[in-house]
Amino acid sequence: AQTVTQSQPEMSVQEAETVTLSCTYDTSESDYYLFWYKQPPSRQMILVIRQEAYKQQNATENRFSVNFQKAAKSFSLKISDSQLGDAAMYFCAYRSKSNQFYFGTGTSLTVIP
């Protein structure tokens, strides 16, 4: 079974600085999708960014970008120019070929003014 590991339960970053959240996964599949979701205190789960495994180019969405290392099974999220509104729990997720999603345990990000 696929597993998703987020080894950083908590992270903090100074406002306007850059932070990287780590995610690794275990799979024997070659074709899959990876996602980062954000869960602010409102508890709403919000899609931040997605990456198709067959694409070598790293996905980017404004201040959010990923570093996708397929061979290493690593999918980290970089947040540039951190803002107070970025404070949230961040979840890494893997979508398998059988359309099942597996989520990591989350990283709680604090943004320090």
Partner 1 sequence: DSGVTQTPKHLITATGQRVTLRCSPRSGDLSVYWYQQSLDQGLQFLIQYYNGEERAKGNILERFSAQQFPDLHSELNLSSLELGDSALYFCASSVGEGGFYGYTFGSGTRLTVV
Q: Which residues of this chain interact with partner 1, rule CB under 8 A? A: 33, 35, 37, 42-47, 50, 52, 91, 95, 98-106
Strands 10-14 and 46-52 turn out to be unpaired
Name the region of 16 (left: φ>0; alpha: ψ -120 to 50; beta: rest): left
Q: How far apart are CA 7 and CA 83, in angstroms?
A: 23
By beta-carbon proximity to partner 1, the closer residue of 17 and 95 is 95
CB of 73 to partner 1, least distance (A): 19
Q: How far apart are CA 40 and CA 46, in angstroms?
A: 8
CB of 21 to partner 1, least distance (A): 15
By beta-carbon proximity to partner 1, the closer residue of 17 and 101 is 101
By beta-carbon proximity to partner 1, the closer residue of 33 and 74 is 33
